[in-house]
Amino acid sequence: MNRIAVRTMVLTAALALAAPAAARAQMPAADIVKRSLDAFYAEGKDMQTRVSMSLMNAQGGERKRELTLLRKNMAAGGEQRYFMYFHAPPDVRGTTFLVWKYPGKDDDRWIYIPAIKLVRRIAASDKRSSFVGSDFTYEDVSGRDVSDETHTLLRQENLGDRPCYVIESHPVGNADYAKRTSWIDRERWVPLKEEYADARGRMTRVFTADKVEQIGGHWTVARRTMKNLTAGQHTVVLFQNVVYDQSLTDNLFTERTLREPPASVR
Amino acid sequence: MRFLIAAAAIAAAALAPAVASAAVDLGGFAQANYAIDVADPPCVDGGPCDVLLADQRVQLKAEGASEKGSSGYAAKVDLFYDSVAKRSDVEVREVFVDLTGAHASLRAGRQVVTWGVGDLLFTNDIFPKDWVAFFTGRPLEYLKIGSDAVKVDLHPKAFDAEIVLMPVFQADRYPTADKLHLPDPFPGLPRITEDKDASIENGEAALRLSRYVSDWGLSLYASRTFYRSPAMTLDSPTTPTAVLQFFPRLNTYGASATGSLLGGVASLEGALWDSGEDQSGSRYAVDNSTVKALAGYSYPLWKDATLGVQGYVEWMLDYSAYRATAPAGYPVKDEKRWTATTRITQLLRNQTVTGNLFAFWGLTEEDGLVIPSLRYAATDNVSVEVGANLFYGKANYTQFGALNEDDNVYTTLRYAF
């Protein structure tokens, strides 16, 4: 094989690799973010997982939260339902939590407190408050709308061995951050890293997807970490026993299930 | 009661093979709970002194369900030592079996039922409550007393229905002179309290229908029950030898609505308390029929902080008949009794610290109760709470004014497992 032939082959291969990337590069930043939000928060028709959260404070103390999470995407664009059953810690065991999430308006949220058999509606306008005391916010758990932020594609680069889009996003309304920089996997579409910065440009929180697995044909972040740099603490979250597309029924996401959680989640 | 336990035992035996195949979920807690009266009250024979509560207990919980979830059971049993009464005992808080189908479920046994949308204001929740526990700083779950009941839930498409049948009357644990410092309108007279037997005519039933309209939760309620705090009358108006306490018939009809509004949660609830034994309003001892209504709103203030406010009114019907029959020299209630409540909750330190300030403000009766509390979850298992119940009132015959000498600070230490 002569040198020219080799050179042609290399060039052809390079072009073949580069062409789709070039085509993707023209994808508007908002579309990339939309696709990433769908991949991260809305894969499959529905999903069930056992979530283990480990909250590590600055003093090295650890708190654990164990819950079963069900999620269903409703037919209407972007509407979702979440159901959570807490296994631990002991004083919240049996507590259930239901979220009806709507694009463009506040969620409906209900909590059931088993000790007094009470279902209570809770205010949901503060999406940036902490989820069960962790470094993740409600919004980090159930997602945001693409229109909640403006997006700019900064560049493409590898993060480790994964090719990524690097996107800068700024919240449209009031938020506890001024800028979010995300590294979105160009092929799997899940975010691999997110850096949150305040108005002075100081980094406040860093999200990393530590383990990404393909489960039932869906790329899934099986282990994630949120570092809170301001407080010097972090939270590690594991998604275990992930199952997609079980055809979860609407009945699982009702007040009845809050009071009578099915055996499959307990 | 015996009937219920027998029924529950038979049901449990029938379910045992199905349930045994699934894992049993065990848990519970050990807890020490103390309340000290800080109003410096006089000590009375047969009544409390400065220690209102000194309670040590272990709660054991067990629950299980069959693999398919069509049957299950739960039990919650407390073993306690009460250092004030110097007695130990076993308290069966809850024990029930469940049968669950696609469109119906049944729960039989001792169970807690909570209805309504009010925050510590109950207009349609006619189920038994322990007000002594509430006023002496015991954890909120002890405000509710289990009912020995059969509960049927029906889930046809259009709405959910809940029917609760309670064959055995259970009174509230209302404030009594052996537990709290109370003014005595009939000094020296013994109390004789009605003991309702488990006959058909003493049975109680309650019904709730609920559904969602858009994202508003709407409910209708009805019950045939009894007042759970006693009416009082003298055995003889001229030469009394005893105070007779009895629980008159009560029928209630009500409705509630709750939903999101302007970033917060709005709640509305109302009920007619139809006094079955005082239809004309002319029996002073028995409460007149009354309309009870509340409107509430809770709103997130800032990070991990929530504000809740409620307005509440009790509107006595047949007021002129009440006025006409009120004996001379007895305190007379207003036709409308207005109350407001406020709640501020702030979570701190990764939500391990909960600061809470709840207050009842008796606008009509010029009385109230302020409950500040601070809870710290030191670990996932250990929590400690300190708080206070501070009563005030112009007159000693109003709801909170009567408890003026019961201001207390309390503490709860709990290890959950």
pLDDT tens by residue, A102-156 = 888 888 999 999 999 999 999 877 788 899 999 999 889 988 899 999 999 999 9
Answer whether B189's CB lies under 8 Å from B243's CB. Answer: yes
Residue of A nearest to B214 (CA): A108
Contacts of A128 in chain B (CB under 8 A): 303
A266, pLDDT greater than 90: no
For residue B105, being part of any structural domain is answered with: yes
Q: Which residues of A238-259 are buried (b: 16+ CB within 10 A; e: fewer)?
A: bbeebebebebeeebbbbbbbb
How far does Cα A100 stand from its chain's mean position?
16
Tokens of A247: 């055809």
A162, pLDDT greater than 80: yes
Hey, are the CB atoms on B65 and A125 less than 8 Å from each other? Answer: no
A237-240 contact pairs (CB < 8 A, 24+): A237/A51, A237/A52, A237/A53, A237/A54, A237/A134, A237/A136, A238/A51, A238/A52, A239/A49, A239/A50, A239/A51, A240/A49, A240/A50, A240/A51, A240/A52
Across the strands, what pairs with A181? A168, A195
Answer whether B336's CB lies under 8 Å from B291's CB. Answer: no
Closest CA to B105 of B148, B154, B142, B67: B154
How far does Cα B136 stand from its chain's mean position?
14
Q: Are strands B191-193 and B243-246 parallel, antiparallel or unpaired?
A: parallel
What stretches of A123-187 adopt beta strand conformation (E)?
149-159, 162-171, 179-185
| The pLDDT of residue B303 | 86
Domains identified in chain B, total number: 1
The Cα B136–Cα B179 span in angstroms is 9
Closest CA to A127 of A79, A200, A179, A176: A176
For residue B375, being part of any structural domain is answered with: yes
Residues 6+ apart with CB under 8 A from A210: A223, A224, A225, A236
Query: pLDDT tens across A63-76, in order?
Result: 999 999 999 999 76
Task: Measure the CA dihedral A195/A198/A199/A202, to 10°.
Answer: -80
Q: Edge-to-edge strands of the sheet including B191-193? A: B191-193, B243-246, B231-234
Stretches in chain B below the pLDDT threshold 50: 1
The Cα A224–Cα B305 span in angstroms is 27
Q: Which of B124, B304, B351, B414 to mutate to test the interface with A (most CBs of A within 10 A)?
A: B351
Q: Is B408 exposed, middle or buried (0-12, 13-18, 19+ CB in 10 A)?
A: buried
Q: Which of A116, A126, A263 minimises the CB distance to B300?
A: A126
- Domain segments of chain A as ranges: 27-265
Q: Which of B68, B155, B383 minimises the CB distance to A256?
A: B155
Hey, are the CB atoms on B29 and A90 less than 8 Å from each other? Answer: yes
Hey, are the CB atoms on B259 and A118 less than 8 Å from each other? Answer: no
Closest CA to A127 of A143, A112, A138: A138
DSSP A23: H
A14, pLDDT greater than 70: no
Q: Which of A61, A117, A264 minimises the CB distance to B113?
A: A117
Q: Which amino acid is at A136?
A: F
Residues 6+ apart with CB under 8 A from B336: B313, B314, B315, B316, B364
Q: Which of A96, A118, A258 to mutate to test the interface with B (most CBs of B within 10 A)?
A: A118
Q: What percent of chain A has pLDDT over 70?
A: 89
Q: Which amino acid is at B79?
A: L
For residue B384, being part of any structural domain is answered with: yes
- Expressed in angstroms, the distance from the first to the final Cα of chain A is 65
Going from the C-alpha of B364 to that of each of B292, B314, B393, the distances in angstroms are 15, 10, 11
Answer whether A177's CB lies under 8 Å from A198's CB. Answer: yes
| The pLDDT of residue B12 | 55
The vertex-A162 CA angle with A157 and A163, nearest 5°, equals 40
Answer whether B253's CB lies under 8 Å from B271's CB. Answer: yes
Answer whether A127's CB lies under 8 Å from A144's CB. Answer: yes
Distance from CA of A248 to the nearest CA of B (A): 14
A13, pLDDT greater than 60: no
Query: pLDDT tens across B218-268, in order?
Result: 999 999 999 999 999 999 888 999 999 999 999 999 999 999 999 999 999
The Cα B263–Cα B113 span in angstroms is 29
The Cα B302–Cα B224 span in angstroms is 43
Domain A27-265, second-level architecture:
Clam (2.50)
For residue B76, being part of any structural domain is answered with: no
Residue of B nearest to A116 (CA): B141
Q: Which of B113, B117, B119, B350 to mutate to test the interface with A (most CBs of A within 10 A)?
A: B350
Closest CA to B185 of B416, B26, B5, B395: B395
Q: Which of A64, A108, A233 minimises the CB distance to B380?
A: A64
Closest CA to B276 of B252, B299, B294, B246: B252
Contacts of A256 in chain B (CB under 8 A): 153, 155, 160
Residue of A nearest to B64 (CA): A263
Across the strands, what pairs with B363? none
CB atoms within 10 A of CB A140: 23
Hey, are the CB atoms on B380 and A133 less than 8 Å from each other? Answer: no
Domain of B166, CATH number, reads: 2.40.160
Between B25 and A10, the higher pLDDT residue: B25
| The pLDDT of residue B67 | 83
The Cα A185–Cα A183 span in angstroms is 7
Kindly give the residue spans of alpha helices, DSSP state H, lying in A68-226.
Answer: 138-142
Q: What 3-state DSSP class applies to B386?
A: strand
For residue B271, being part of any structural domain is answered with: yes
HSE-CB at A152 with a 13 A cutoff on CA atoms is 6
| The pLDDT of residue A1 | 45
The Cα B385–Cα B409 span in angstroms is 11
Residue of A nearest to B215 (CA): A108
Q: What 3-state DSSP class applies to A40?
A: helix
Q: Which of A125, A129, A133 minimises the CB distance to B303?
A: A129
Q: Which residue range forms the structural domain that includes residue B123?
A: 94-416
Tokens of B262: 């302007």
| The pLDDT of residue B268 | 98
Between B12 and A44, the higher pLDDT residue: A44
HSE-CB at B287 with a 13 A cutoff on CA atoms is 23
Q: Which of A91, A106, A176 minimises the CB distance to B383?
A: A91
